[in-house]
């Protein structure tokens, strides 16, 4: 038997805001919809930016990509601020308990010097790669158009800062908080041959002007390759070679990548589906940046793993590109 | 071996500040291209003191807890129809102004801080801006969600986004933030991070949130409480920015002073609407605008400028005019809205006798002498069934975009007009402050999208004002606006309360 509390029922005058009703009809809206659609100002800007006088303040022409409706970039995770932080808070709680467990049991002592050295050489320098991803996603968030994609780019940008901080903590666990491992990893990033291609590529992305091209370079191409090489293939290698406990410290990145990939693929798919022009444009960008990224990552992939590793990562990326409707 | 303990500063340095590096392959100037054109000299970004040292994991954790509590209140508010607990349906018009006029500014703040959060060359400053950017996105979204329930039961919320881009009085807040965002990154930080967040926020945010608390609006006041710790972070960032700029190079002092002069004047103009809201729109009063101004600007701001004097910074220009204005602006603004009540997106009304007495008490120098007689006249006309609406469209100030409603402060019977000529065209202003701002950057302010000019130029449909209001602004004329008396909002309220 169920009991029912009697409350006063009042008939609402309307179900939602008018712009939401125009898009989705006269029915109650979700919080994602109300927080996202048509929130960004679109017209009648008062002044041109002193820093970019050829553009309006919010201007869809900051990329060569053309969309009829920029709100086609719906986030399949339906992240608005509240759902975003709550989801990440859950992930960080798991991460926190992993890091605490690792430190409490002093699992570092189970890692050989050689393994620790490999982590400092291959994993920790990625904090600088993540820092670049932070910049590039902030760029898209500030230059992009329509809340649907710009808010998701902001979340991605902040995630990357968080991941850079987790990677830094791995260094601090290994060096007993002296900062030496971080210094060593940074010196690899700055001058070791295997990292120079990656660093040059990172620097190049930060001078790239088209924000959607940058999304392709960073969030589609570079992330797909780096995350497969490091958090999939290198992780598997570590697990086979006595370094399985490191996975506790990178679980956040693995979960995050899965989550973020859903959004990235949805954006890519919507952009491709829009028009043949977009598809051609995107194929051009993907080709260019894939070529650059493969060349940049190859020395790292070969030393960290083996000669086939790069091809495997590329195959994983290609599968996603095809699924999004590219190159077919 | 036990790991050594890191203090917060060192930890933050290792986890955040150390992430950036010296470029070897690309031109770093090209990656951060907007740092020089304003004339600000940064000699060493590493001198930046992080105003708060929050890592992302902690940020997610704290903010998620706050969001969970906030949305629990929103859910309870909706479930219990708690909009019926507000003091008086007139109150709801204050938050209509908030959603149409202020929430979109939170969005612009998100965009502006995302821009500086990408463009500053110093990683410490960037990350602090990024977090503020994310917070500002939080604020606009939680405000939309807080008002979502009101929108279901009251008129005037439903087109907030469309209206913000078009409506005459909403171009005041919109152009304010457009001005800041189109400026260089350092001016943006002085405009919004310092002038607005550090000093003027107390006069925007606090009155609205306290107004909500005093008038039974649990959704809005809970949002206010929840945002308080974000605002505290934003204030520390604003203060760090100004100190950093002033300490980096002595040549920065003059530039910063000019921005302070500009943005305090623009800010005081923007706050006119808050003044009006506090004195006229809250059925349960918090304090008068004059009192709020004295506490938050004269006392708190005065102490701040005393602190900044050691850098060679003085009080904002026209402070003495601003001080006189506290006696007048709320009355002048509400009268303007009352007489243009058919063209506003909310309801207006004549203050009750009790409220008129309160105003007389709070403004002994000015209210009875200059403003009460107008309301007595309006009452007489209303009693005869001749509620007054003005026919004309107001002339707008080219800088602040407020109708020419302000008077000379030494002669409150005389409307204040200023003008100047630029490239053979005449431009009009409400004050010396606004005229100065124009003359300093005429090429920027000639671009102002002045709603009344646009109407006369035929860019907003028409030709009748009624068509413009309904077709271009999307107002339901006679439903969303006109007098509170007899409005659908009032009728529904009476029905819900069983007093119809």
Q: Which of B439, B398, B399 is nearest to B422 (CA)?
A: B439
pLDDT higher than threshold 90 for residue A19:
yes
Does B262 reside within a domain?
yes
Phi and psi (nearest 5°) for B155? -90, 155
Tell me whether residue B173 is in a domain: yes
Which residues in chain A are closer than 8 Å to B80, comparing Cβ atoms? Answer: 7
Report the residue from A128, A172, A199 with minimal CB separation from B19.
A128
Task: Decide if B7 touches A, using CB distance below 8 A.
Answer: no
Taking only residues 17 to 56 of chain A, the set having a beta carbon closer than 8 angstroms to any beta carbon of chain B reads 17-19, 31, 34-35, 38-51
Range of the domain at B235: 9-16+28-347
- Is B171 touching A (CB cutoff 8 A)? yes
pLDDT of residue A8: 66
CB of B160 within 8 Å of a chain A CB? The answer is yes
Q: Is B96 on the interface with A (CB under 8 A)?
A: no
Residue B352 counted as domain residue:
no
3-state secondary structure of A109: helix
When CB atoms are compared, the residue of B79, B84, B447 closest to A46 is: B447
- Number of other residues whose CB lies within 10 A of the CB of residue B444: 18
The pLDDT assigned to B200 comes to: 81
pLDDT of residue A6: 67
Mark yes or no for CB contact B153/A177 under 8 Å.
no
From the list B84, B117, B165, which residue is nearest A41 (CB)?
B165
Does the pLDDT value for residue A223 go beyond 80? yes
Q: Contacts of residue A134 in chain B, CB cutoff 8 Å?
A: 19, 130
| C-alpha dihedral (B113, B119, B122, B125), degrees to nearest 10 | 0
Q: Is B457 on the interface with A (CB under 8 A)?
A: no
How confident is the model at residue B197, as a pLDDT?
A: 87
Residue B488 pLDDT: 97
To test the contact with chain A by mutation, choose from B130, B174, B230, B262 the residue with the greatest count of A C-beta atoms within 10 A, namely B130
Domain membership flag for residue B208: yes
Give the fold, CATH level 3, of A78-322: Ribonucleotide Reductase, subunit A (1.10.620)
Contact assignment for A19 to B63 by CB distance below 8 Å:
no
At residue A1, does pLDDT exceed 70? Answer: no
Q: Are B250 and B185 in contact (CB under 8 A)?
A: no
Contacts 24+ apart (CB under 8 A), A53-61: A57/B178, A57/B181, A57/B182, A58/A145, A58/B111, A59/A145, A60/A145
Q: Is A109 on the interface with B (CB under 8 A)?
A: no
* pLDDT per position as a tens digit, A258-288: 999 999 999 999 999 999 999 999 999 999 9
Phi, psi of A80 (to 5 degrees): -110, 180
Number of H helices, E strands in chain A: 14, 0
Distance, in angstroms, between A328 CA and closest chain B CA? 34
Q: Do A158 and B18 touch (CB under 8 A)?
A: no
- The answer to whether A85 faces chain B, any CB pair under 8 Å, is yes
Q: Which residue of A has its CA nearest to B66?
A: A82
Q: Say yes or no: A157 contacts chain B, CB-CB below 8 A.
A: yes
Whether A328 contacts chain B with CB within 8 A: no
**Interface contact flag, A177 B67, Cβ < 8 Å:** no
A135: Cα separation from own chain's centroid: 11
- Tell me if B179 is assigned to some domain: yes
pLDDT in tens, A178-205: 999 999 999 999 999 999 999 999 999 9
Which pLDDT belongs to residue A93? Answer: 98
Task: Confirm whether B251 is domain-assigned.
Answer: yes
3 state DSSP class of A155: helix
CATH number of the domain bearing residue B268: 1.10.620.20
Which residues neighbour B461 within 8 Å (Cβ) at sequence distance 6 or greater? B467, B468, B471, B472
* Terminal-residue alpha carbon distance, chain A: 58
In B, minimum Cα distance to A130 occurs at B19
Provide the domain count of chain B. Answer: 1
Q: Does the distance separating the beta carbons of B63 and A203 come in below 8 Å?
A: no
Task: Using the predicted structure, report yes or no on whether residue A9 has a pLDDT greater than 80.
Answer: no
B107 contact A CB<8A: yes
Chain-chain contact of B145 with A43 (C-beta, under 8 angstroms): no
B459 has which bridge partners?
A: B461
* Interface touch B148/A182, C-beta < 8 Å: no
In this predicted structure, the answer to whether residue A157 has a pLDDT above a threshold of 80 is yes
A95 interfacial to chain B (CB closer than 8 Å)? yes
Q: Is residue B254 part of a domain?
A: yes
pTM for the whole structure: 0.97
Residues B83, B207 contacting (CB under 8 angstroms): no
Q: What is the pLDDT of residue A187?
A: 98
> Chunked in runs of 10, what are the mean pLDDT values of chain B (500 residues)?
80 94 98 97 95 94 98 96 95 96 97 98 97 98 97 98 97 98 98 89 86 94 92 93 96 98 96 96 96 92 93 94 95 97 96 98 97 97 94 92 93 94 97 98 97 94 91 95 96 90
Distance of CA B31 to the CA centre of its chain: 32
| Residue from the list A39, A89, A203 with its beta carbon closest to the beta carbon of B26 | A203
**Tens digit of each residue's pLDDT (9 = 90 or more) over B61-89:** 999 999 999 999 999 999 999 999 999 99
Write down the pLDDT at residue B463: 86
Is residue B456 in a domain? no
Q: A100 — contact with chain B (CB < 8 Å)?
A: no
Give me the pLDDT at residue A10, please: 86
Asked if B364 and B422 count as a contact pair (C-beta separation under 8 A), the reply is no
Interface residue B425 vs chain A (CB under 8 A): no
Q: Which residues contact B128 (CB under 8 A, 6 or more apart)?
A: B50, B51, B52, B237, B240
Half-sphere exposure of A252 (CA within 13 A, CB side): 27
A208 touches chain B (CB under 8 A): no
The interface predicted TM-score (ipTM) is: 0.97
User: Mind spelling out the 3-state secondary structure of chain B?
Assistant: CCCCCCCHHHHHHHHCHHHCCCCCCCCHHHHCCCCCCCCCCCCCHHHCCCCCCCCHHHHHHHHHHHHHHHHHHHHHHHHCCHHHHCCCHHHHHHHHHHHHHHHHHHHHHHHHHHHHHHHCCCHHHHHHHHHHHHHHHHHHHHHHHHHHHHHHHCCCCCCHHHHHCCCCCCHHHHHHHHHHHHCCHHHHHHHHHHHHHHHHHHHHHHHHHHHHHHCCCHHHHHHHHHHHHHHHHHHHHHHHHHHHHHHHCCHHHHHHHHHHHHHHHHHHHHCHHHHHHHHHHCCCCCCCHHHHHHHHHHHHHHHHHHHHHHHCCCCCCCHHHHHHHCCCHHHHHHHHHHHCCCCCCCCECCCCHHHHHHHHHHCCCCHHHHHHHHHHHHHHHHHCCCCCCCCCCCCECCCCCCECCCEECCEEEEECCEEEEECCEEEEECCHHHHHHHHHCHHHHCCCCCHHHHHHCCECECCCHHHHHHHHCCCCCCCCCCECCCCHHHHHHHHHHCCC
């Amino acid at each position: 038997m169920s009991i029912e509390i009697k409350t006063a029922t009042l008939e609402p005058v309307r179900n939602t805001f008018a712009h939401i009703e125009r898009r989705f009809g006269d029915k109650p809206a979700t919080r994602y919809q109300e927080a996202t659609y048509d929130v960004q100002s679109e017209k009648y800007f008062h002044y041109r930016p002193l820093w970019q006088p050829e553009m309006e303040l919010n201007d869809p022409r900051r990329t060569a990509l053309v969309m009829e409706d920029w709100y086609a970039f719906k986030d399949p995770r339906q992240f608005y601020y509240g759902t975003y932080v709550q989801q990440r808070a859950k992930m960080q709680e798991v991460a926190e308990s992993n890091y605490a467990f690792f430190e409490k049991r002093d699992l570092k002592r189970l890692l050989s010097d050689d393994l620790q050295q490999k982590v400092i050489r291959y994993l920790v320098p990625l904090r600088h790669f993540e820092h670049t991803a932070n910049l590039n996603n902030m760029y898209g968030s500030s230059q992009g158009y329509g809340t649907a994609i710009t808010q998701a780019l902001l979340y991605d940008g902040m995630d990357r800062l968080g991941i850079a901080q987790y990677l830094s903590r791995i260094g601090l666990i290994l060096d007993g908080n002296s900062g030496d491992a971080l210094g060593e990893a940074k010196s690899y990033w700055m001058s070791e041959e295997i990292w120079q291609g990656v660093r040059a590529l990172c620097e190049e992305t930060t001078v790239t002007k088209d924000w959607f091209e940058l999304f392709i370079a960073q969030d589609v191409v570079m992330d797909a390759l780096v995350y497969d090489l490091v958090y999939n293939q290198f992780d598997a290698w570590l697990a086979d070679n006595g370094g399985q406990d490191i996975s506790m410290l990178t679980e956040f990145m693995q979960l995050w990548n899965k989550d973020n990939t859903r959004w990235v693929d949805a954006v890519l798919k919507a952009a491709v589906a829009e028009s043949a022009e977009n598809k051609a444009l995107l194929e051009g960008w993907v080709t260019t940046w894939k070529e650059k990224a493969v060349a940049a990552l190859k020395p790292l992939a070969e030393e960290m793993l083996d000669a086939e590793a790069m091809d495997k990562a590329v195959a994983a990326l290609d599968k996603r590109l095809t699924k999004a409707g590219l190159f077919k | 071996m036990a790991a050594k303990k890191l203090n917060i500063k060192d930890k933050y340095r290792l986890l955040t500040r150390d992430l950036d590096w010296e470029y070897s392959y690309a031109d770093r100037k090209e990656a951060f291209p907007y740092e020089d054109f304003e004339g600000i000299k940064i000699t060493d970004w590493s001198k930046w003191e992080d105003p708060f040292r929050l890592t992302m994991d902690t940020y997610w954790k704290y903010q998620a807890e706050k969001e969970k509590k906030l949305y629990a209140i929103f859910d309870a508010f909706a479930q219990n129809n708690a909009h019926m607990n507000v003091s008086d349906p007139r109150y709801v018009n204050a938050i209509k102004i908030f959603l149409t006029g202020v929430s979109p500014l939170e969005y612009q703040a998100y965009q502006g801080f995302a821009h500086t959060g990408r463009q500053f060359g110093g990683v410490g400053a960037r990350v602090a801006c990024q977090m503020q950017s994310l917070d500002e996105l939080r604020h606009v979204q939680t405000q939309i969600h807080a008002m979502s329930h009101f929108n279901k039961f009251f008129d005037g919320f439903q087109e907030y986004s469309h209206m913000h881009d078009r409506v005459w009085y909403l171009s005041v807040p919109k152009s304010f933030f457009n001005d800041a965002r189109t400026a260089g990154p350092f001016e943006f930080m002085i405009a919004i991070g310092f002038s607005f967040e550090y000093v003027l926020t107390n006069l925007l945010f606090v009155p609205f949130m306290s107004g909500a608390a005093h008038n039974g609006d649990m959704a809005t006041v809970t949002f206010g409480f929840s945002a308080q710790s974000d605002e505290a972070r934003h204030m520390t960032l604003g203060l760090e920015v100004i100190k950093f700029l002033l300490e980096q190079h002595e040549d920065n002092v003059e530039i910063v002073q000019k921005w302070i002069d500009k943005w305090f004047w623009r800010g005081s103009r923007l706050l006119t609407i808050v003044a009006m809201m506090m004195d006229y729109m809250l059925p349960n009063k918090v304090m008068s605008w004059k009192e709020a101004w004295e506490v938050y600007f004269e006392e708190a701001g005065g102490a701040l400028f005393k602190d900044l004097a050691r850098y060679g910074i003085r009080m904002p220009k026209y402070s003495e005019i601003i001080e006189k204005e506290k006696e007048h602006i709320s009355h002048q603004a509400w009268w303007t809205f009352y007489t243009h009540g058919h063209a506003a997106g909310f309801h207006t009304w004549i203050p009750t006798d009790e409220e008129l007495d309160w105003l007389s008490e709070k403004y002994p120098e000015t209210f009875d002498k200059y403003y009460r007689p107008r309301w007595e006249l309006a009452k007489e006309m209303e009693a005869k069934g001749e509620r007054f609406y003005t026919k004309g469209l107001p002339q707008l100030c080219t800088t602040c975009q407020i109708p020419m409603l302000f008077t000379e402060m030494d002669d409150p019977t005389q409307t204040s007009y200023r003008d100047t000529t630029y490239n053979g065209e005449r431009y009009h202003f409400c004050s010396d402050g606004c005229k100065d701002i124009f003359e300093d950057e005429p090429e920027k302010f000639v671009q102002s999208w002045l709603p009344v000019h646009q109407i006369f130029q035929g860019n907003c449909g028409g030709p009748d004002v009624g068509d413009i209001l309904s077709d271009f602004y999307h107002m339901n004329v006679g439903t969303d606006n006109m007098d509170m008396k007899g409005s659908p909002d009032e009728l529904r309220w009476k029905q819900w309360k069983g007093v119809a």
